Structure 1
Amino acid sequence: MNAPNKSGWKPKMEMADGSAESVTTTGNRALMLEEPLLFEIGHAEITGVDLPEVDPTAPSRLGDLTREEPIGLVGLTEPEAVRHYTRLSRQNYGIDLGFFPLGSCTMKHNPRLNEKMARLPGFADAHPLAPQSTVQGALEVIHELSHWLKTLTGMPAVAMSPKAGAHGELCGILAIRAAHMAAGNPREVVLVPESAHGTNPATAAFAGYKVDNIPATTEGRVDVEALKARLGPDVAAVMITNPNTCGLFEKDFREIADAVHAVGGYVYCDGANFNAIVGRVRPGDLGVDAMHINLHKTFSTPHGGGGPGSGPVVFSEALAPFAPLPYVDKTADGKFVIVEEEHTDAEHKAFGRMTAFHGQMGMFTRALTYMLSHGADGLKQVAEDAVLNANYILRSLEDVLHAPFADAGPCMHEALFGDKDFGNGLSTLDLAKGMIDEGFHPMTVYFPLVVHGAMLVEPTETESKASIDQFITSFRSLAERAVAGDESLKQAPYFAPRRRLDETAAARKPKLKWEPLEA
């Protein structure tokens, strides 16, 4: 549907047969309200707040930077501003609205208890430049969270400063590079299996390494023999996602780690899928040297909406000396301090620092709250329920959708399907658009690349059987239509605020500047 505009053009809605039908003069459809941009509905003369009067004769503090003409920013009255953002929010989708089955993203419910704790003044109002004596409680939270991250992973050290998953990957790879440099052998190659996350090869390349691909077996796991054949003195590390992006646990992980260590390399584990094994498997026991942990995925901190992300990295004993600064330590008298400077002893060889300040306090507080409210048994149940829900989806749909690794045994936290059996030229994209009409955010599509037309579904542990059953019913209906070649799916979605967009043009030719319509 198109937005109304000031030229008097009458909005139309494209119908399923390609024709156009006039709709309301406002562009609204019942309670689905159309909302133009602020620049289209606001006026520069209007504001919803009272601003203090400014003495035009007072000297400016801006010097030569003083604005010489009005900037022309538009304003709204207070009720108009509230309605504008409320209407926009109704066109968005979030975990508080419905099931969010994005595979590999772990879009789980964010408990309100976490939010309550994060909003306590001592945490919400903490400033990174505040004297350390005034933020002892915040530092204790970081120290306590560090302890539990090390406990859950079986690793002796952790860096809390990385801001997100990919940032954590870079932290781990830089520590690996620092360790090789300290040994006088920088090495040149990082091995990345096909079943790893796409950020893994990007991170290795960004850090200056050559990336060699390791193929997957027909079961969707790392080809161990191919990996062993590629190992040599030039290999700095292997980056493995476990559980991998096919939703499978790498059962030969310990054998892989031993082989890599035998040639002097290190093992980096992408911890984005830790939610599937938290409380069940300790990565340190598998031979992992470094692993980032996405606090938003495993420990329920928000995906961006509540502030920046957080991607702590745990390290093995071999890599711990090379972990970055700063870190929180506890002194003999029970006080907490932020260590900002490198030690002078030979045992500490930090490669530097990842950020100016320590980390994201809001994410730390939420994650620790989640851990303490669940306890060890509760976190174990988190993983078990997530895996149970994913297997329920896999087995409920494998008879109507291509499930390439269904015979490889139970999946972990996500179920993987493909569009192999779709008819009449229909694709995964068509099914995903149809899912929008069903009221669901589509699953992850076209990833991982090892499966044609991949559809990666992750229900997490926070979805009830009732909500999963409703999703399965919708998914099955769409799959049956796709297999039958129902061409109406090629025009979906029909009921969304916008019809199907040209996603290729949107990515390659984005319009980032608003311009008024021609008169």
Structure 2
Amino acid sequence: MLSTLGFRSIDDLVSSAIPPGIRVDESLESLIPDAASEREALAELRALAAQNTVRTSLIGQGYYDTITPAVITRNVLENPSWYTAYTPYQPEISQGRLEALINFQTMVSDLTGLDTANASMLDEGTAVVEGMLLARRASKAKSNVFVADADAFPQTLALLEARAAAVGIELVIADLRGGAELPEHFGVFVQYPAASGELWNPASIIEASHEQKGIAVVAADLLALALVASPGEHGADVAVGTTQRFGVPMGFGGPHAGYMAVRKGLERQLPGRLVGVSKDATGQPGYRLSLQTREQHIRREKATSNICTAQVLLAVMAAMYAVYHGPQGIRSIAQSVHAKTVMAQRVLLEHGVRVTTKQYFDSLSVAVTDADAVLARAAAAGLLLYKVDEQTVRFSFDEASAQDSDVTARLVEAFAEEHGDPLPVPEQRAVMPLGGDRGARAYAPLGLRQYPETLARTSEYLTHPVFNTHHSETAMMRYLKRLADKDYALDRGMIPLGSCTMKLNAATEMDAVTWPEFAGLHPFAPAADVAGTLELIAQLETWLADVTGYDTVSLQPNAGSQGELAGLLAIRGYHRANGDDQRTVCLIPSSAHGTNAASAVLAGMKVVVVACDDNGNVELADLRAKIEAHADQLAALMITYPSTHGVYEHDVVRITEAVHDAGGQVYIDGANLNALLGYARFGDFGGDVSHLNLHKTFCIPHGGGGPGVGPVAAKSHLAPYLPGHPMAQTNIHSGLTHDGGPVSAAPFGSPSILPITWAYIRMMGAEGLARATRAAVLSANYIAARLRDHFPVLYTGDNGLVAHECILDLRPLTKQTGISVDDVAKRLIDYGFHAPTMSFPVPGTLMVEPTESEDIAELDRFVDAMIGIKAEADAVGAGEYPADDNVLVGAPHTAESIATSEWTHPYSREQAVYPVRALVHAKYWPPVRRIDQAYGDRNLMCECPPIEAFA
């Protein structure tokens, strides 16, 4: 590889590529320990896990223990066919996970009683925020007020408060259940059931909001909706919440798949991703992402949301939980939870304990004389309860505790000293077994229910055959295998997506994710119970701050886009604290990721675009002109380094100095950190704050489009404005306090997957991280050098070199032959590859990032495929094949397409599916032909299609 590039050593290559002015001071001593072996790293993780105490959690408040069916754990969560897949932007090779996601959407739509659900949100709290933003843009009311129910989860109210303030929304918190008068408003939010556990009918509040042209948003518990009337039946416009109860471990707060569903007429307002049904080139049904896919990259500062990811892996788990249990199984689980709660209420009431909740599904509030004493006795009995205030305790039952035979007795003991004597627990005669799928222990009250008849659900749900077929482990295992076989993931071959860093997620790094000591923790558990996880988090924060040159790190943002937002909100808080409220202008280069502009708008900033030169660098003259024009209003510059064009900019230090001289802050987008790690640090060349993508540089897998983690790292002066959280066990990070508003529902975002990044850094060590950078730069330059004579490399830096990715310009090919970038992307499927990033950041190009994980054989296989495709395109341009009937415009080719007696194409079957002979023995067969994208948008269908559609 070095010989191809003309370098004697990899150090010579990197020295020629990375500008010397930003190179790290080699005298600095790394805080990262020397690399550990796999066995040593796992032993250290075991020691950290041993510091955690997993008690039976009855805390509730949006997080509940659940039982993940082993068939889902083994075949989804622990299966690289699912967790190493990328976002389904190439639908032809993503049909398996797209089907799983349409199952998810159908499940949510059915249970919420609304017409259209999206393919998951980041968590419940941020889904409520997105509901508020949707209400503002969809409502015809002239008010700027959003009304939130006071009896909502405290973390949700804190998120609403922080996010509303940034975009100028007036948040009014009112006792809606108590009959509070609605002020003039554009939207209203209700928790259903309420945080207190009270289950009440919000229909009158929703109707009153509609009379003011308001949009009603209801956060609903999906498991409760198996028994109680749906938000749609109450007239809600939007339903939001979490699917965590459907088989996804609590994991100290995440990752979990939030959800959003809307009534008819609002589907085109949905944020995030939406899976729809279209048709392929032969008219067969095919799934695809619909409507606003990557809206941020199209609309930029006009985008209505900065969310460009989802929680696909967790959404798949939740959907498969519903597929496996079916409607009867889900209802049985819900009945068992409710029955357990009824039993607990009766026992407590019989012995004089004051239960204040009257109508409920799974949660009870109890008046006590000393809440701390009750919690202490509960903890001694192995239970965790929730302290509302000094004289109120709350607890919630869930799928796991409903099957715990002695949990009620232990719960009663916690309240015993309130009355002086231990409280006897009557025999459980008040409940009867219902049976249930696969022998599940499920119970229901004998003819009694603790909510009125008017709230009982009578409508059907999960009626599609997919939810009524796969109820044995054999059937479920085979269904999951069939879906996985339709997809292309890293277990098949390279995914060379520029800007997305699809590299190996090593098995050892993944090992601890399912350990109960990490997965079984409630996010609001006492600090003493989560000491090991807090220590892991502190170590990881220290390491990440060290490699980036910053002073402190917050791991709370659970996506890169949320990390961007958190960094910009910190800048906003800093300026406001200094009395510079007028500083609201954010400079963003024209080449930047679209989420940059969207995040700036959601942080209350005005975007001003800075031009780039022909090499993709920020144009200094234009930057200085924009700084001068907005000097008093300048809040920040957002810049990606290396640039979005895949090159190292020499002038980055001059750029950051110019912004600082004008009183602004510098936000450096960390999307391309894997081209710098070990060689340069953002904080050393002028960065004040950055977000990092743990799902790119630090090996957390993409999971088909999520989970992700987007930590925000900053200098000490911004630390007070980084995300805090009202329920956090600590807000001290690297010795600095984080007191800003939260950006995630859980204090530490998605901590159950942080052991992946911890293990990666621990096993690499500082030198290993630098070695990975060297390998990434080498691989990208090798591909650029080998393909340069076939496809122009659009941008290069010094010595004709690129960073960790290169942009291949297909526009000359299209002009000469008529073959488009889409044709090349689809033809790559026939060669056994996932396409590189298409038409970003430049239309008509492919951005290739090979990563450091791929060996030379795989790189050469890709190069050979691209050279082969170039020859095929040239043949079309030369007139050897018709422009409308050739291997490129006909791609991809399925097995069915060649298994036909009639073949009318001017190219052979062999040319279609075996463009290189090696594929004969290792062929990935796409399940569908090219998907008709426009048809899917014109004919929007976002639920499971009827079986007849596939006849």
TM-score range, shorter chain: 0.7 to 0.9
Q: Which residue of 2 aligns with 1:499?
A: 929
- TM-superposed CA distance for 1:481, in Å, is 2.0
Which of 416, 419, 424 is residue 817 of structure 2 equivalent to?
424
SS at match of 2:592: coil
Are the equivalent residues in 1 in contact too, given 2:724–2:738 (CA < 8 A)? no
Distance in 1 between residues matched to 2:635 and 2:836, nearest whole Å: 35
Once the two structures are TM-superposed, the CA of residue 475 in structure 1 deviates from its matched residue by 1.3
Q: Please name the residue that 2:826 is paired with.
A: 433
2:773 is matched with which residue? 383
Tell me the CA shift for residue 19 of structure 1: 12
Superposition pairs of residues 175-194 of structure 1, within 5 angstroms: 175-186=570-581, 187-194=583-590
Alignment of 1:334-413 (within 5 A): 338-339=730-731, 350-359=739-748, 360-406=750-796, 409-413=800-804
CA distance in 2, matches of 1:54, 1:328: 33
Alpha-carbon shift at residue 44 of structure 1 (Å): 8.4
How many Å apart are 1:484 and its aligned residue?
Answer: 3.9
Alignment partner, residue 76 of structure 1: 470
Rounded to whole Å, the distance in 2 between the matches of 1:69 and 1:19 is 34
Query: In 2 relative to 1, CA 68–137 (structure 1 residues): closer, same or farther, beyond 3 Å?
Result: same
Deviation at 1:62, TM superposition (A): 5.3
The 1-side partners of 2:706 and 2:844 are apart by 33
Give the percent of matched residue pairs that are identical in Structure 1 and Structure 2: 37
Whether the 8 Å contact between 2:678 and 2:769 is mirrored in structure 1 is yes
Aligned counterparts of 1:226 and 1:431: Cα–Cα separation in 2? 36
| Distance in 1 (alpha carbons) for counterparts of 2:723 and 2:676 | 26
Q: Aligned in 2, Cα 1:212/1:376: closer, same or farther, shift over 3 Å?
A: same
Q: What amino acid is the match of 1:514?
A: C
Distance 1:207 1:410 in 2: 36
1:247-294 CA distance string (max 9 Å, x none) = 111221111000000000010011011011111111111110110000
The CA distance in 2 between the partners of 1:505 and 1:200, in whole Å, is 30
Assess if the C-alpha contact under 8 Å between 2:562 and 2:710 holds in 1. Answer: yes
1:319-338 mapped onto 2 (5 Å cutoff): 319-326=718-725, 338=730
Aligned equivalents of 2:535, 2:797: Cα separation in 1: 47
Q: CA deviation at 1:159?
A: 1.4
Q: Give the deviation of 1:162 after TM superposition.
A: 0.8
CA distance in 1, matches of 2:875, 2:451: 68
Match of 2:859 in 1: 468
Greater alpha carbon shift after TM alignment, 482-491 vs 428-437: 482-491
**1:78-117 matches, cutoff 5 A:** 78=472, 79-117=474-512
Residue equivalent to 1:482: 873
1:152–1:509 distance in 2 versus 1, CA, 3 Å: farther
Q: Please give the alpha-carbon distance, in whole angstroms, between the structure 2 residues aligned to 1:69 and 1:170.
A: 40
Take 2:770 and 2:726, find their aligned partners in 1: how far apart are those partners?
Answer: 28
Over the residues paired in the alignment, what is the CA RMSD in angstroms?
Answer: 3.4
Say whether 1:211 aligns with 2:607.
yes
Could you tell me which amino acid in structure 2 is paired with residue 75 of structure 1?
T
| Number of residue pairs matched by the alignment | 478
Give the AA of the match of 1:513.
Answer: E
Matched position secondary structure for 2:438:
coil
- 8 Å Cα contact 1:247-1:413 kept in structure 2: yes
Q: Quick one: which amino acid aligns to residue 86 of structure 1?
A: K
Task: Between 393-402 and 195-204, report the one with greater CA deviation.
Answer: 195-204
What is the one-letter code of the residue matched to 2:603? A
Between the two structures, name the one with larger relative contact order (CA 8 Å, sep ≥ 6).
2
Deviation, 1:476, is 1.2
Q: What is the CA-CA distance between 1:378 and the residue it aligns to?
A: 0.2
Is this contact kept in 2: 1:418–1:428, CA < 8 A? no
TM-superposed CA distance for 1:357, in Å, is 2.0
Q: Which amino acid aligns with 1:413?
A: H
**1:201 counterpart (597, 611, 624):** 597
Whether the aligned pair in 2 keeps the contact of 1:161 and 1:326 (CA below 8 Å) is no
Describe the shift of the 1:80–1:236 C-alpha distance in structure 2 as closer, same or farther (beyond 3 A). same
Q: Does 1:270 align with 2:669?
A: yes
- Give 1:25's aligned residue: none
Q: Is the 8 A contact 2:732 2:738 kept in 1?
A: no
Give the Cα–Cα distance (whole angstroms) in 2 for the partners of residues 226 and 307 of structure 1.
37
**Cα contact 1:268–1:290 (8 A) shared by 2:** yes
Name whichever of 452-461 and 476-485 sits farther off: 476-485
Q: Rate the CA distance shift 1:55–1:366 in 2: closer, same or farther, 3 A.
A: closer
Does 1:415 find its partner at 2:819? no
**1:43 deviation in Å?**
10
Q: Quote how far apart the aligned CAs of 1:353 are.
A: 1.8
Q: CA deviation at 1:493?
A: 0.6
Q: Secondary structure at the match of 1:319?
A: helix
User: Which 5+ residue runs of structure 1 have no aligned equivalent?
Assistant: 3-12, 21-36, 330-336
Q: What is aligned with 1:332?
A: none
Structure number with greater Rg is 2
Helix, strand or coil for the counterpart of 1:270?
strand
Q: Secondary structure at the match of 2:632?
A: coil
SS in 1 for 2:550: coil
Partners in 1 of 2:683 and 2:745 — Cα distance?
29
**Alignment partner of 1:242 is 2:641:** yes
Aligned partner (choices 596, 604, 619) of residue 223 of structure 1: 619
Q: Deviations for 1:344-383, whole angstroms, at most 9, x for unmatched residues?
A: xxx9683322223222122221101100100010000011
- Is contact 2:574-2:718 (8 Å) kept? yes
Give 1:119-158 correspondences, 5 Å limit: 119-158=514-553
SS at 2:608 equivalent: strand
Secondary structure of the 2:730 match is strand
Q: Is the 8 A contact 2:470 2:479 kept in 1?
A: no
Q: What TM-score does the superposition give when structure 2 sets the normalisation length?
A: 0.47
Q: 1:179 to 1:505 in 2, by over 3 A?
A: farther
Q: How many Å separate the matches in 2 of 1:300 and 1:156?
A: 23
Q: Higher mean Cα deviation, 71-80 or 180-189?
A: 71-80
C-alpha contact (below 8 Å) 1:327/1:338 kept by paired residues:
no
CA, structure 1 residues 464+194, in 2 after alignment: closer, same or farther (shift >3 Å)? Answer: same
1 or 2, which has the higher helix percentage? 2
Amino acid at match of 2:807: L
Residue 233 (structure 1) aligned with residue 632 (structure 2):
yes
Residue among 926, 929, 941 paired with 1:511: 941
Alignment deviations for residues 270-322 of structure 1 (CA, whole Å, 9 cap, x no partner): 10110111111111111101100000101101114697321111112332232
Q: Which amino acid aligns with 1:215?
A: A
C-alpha contact (below 8 Å) 1:421/1:483 kept by paired residues: no
Q: Which residue of 1 aligns with 2:565?
A: 170
Tell me the CA shift for residue 177 of structure 1: 0.8
Structure 1 residues 388 and 431: alpha-carbon distance in aligned structure 2, compared to 1, 3 A threshold: same
Deviation at 1:137, TM superposition (A): 0.5
Amino acid at match of 2:512: M
Deviation of 1:125 after TM superposition, in Å, equals 1.8
Question: 1:32 matched to which residue of 2?
Answer: none
Partners of 1:122 and 1:52 in 2: how far apart?
A: 25
Which stretch shows the higher mean deviation, 360-369 or 140-149? 360-369
Q: TM-score, normalised by structure 1?
A: 0.84
1:133 CA displacement? 0.4
Structure 2: runs of 5+ lacking an equivalent:
1-91, 96-278, 285-318, 330-435, 895-925
> Which 4+ runs in 1 deviate beyond 4 A?
37-40, 42-48, 51-57, 326-329
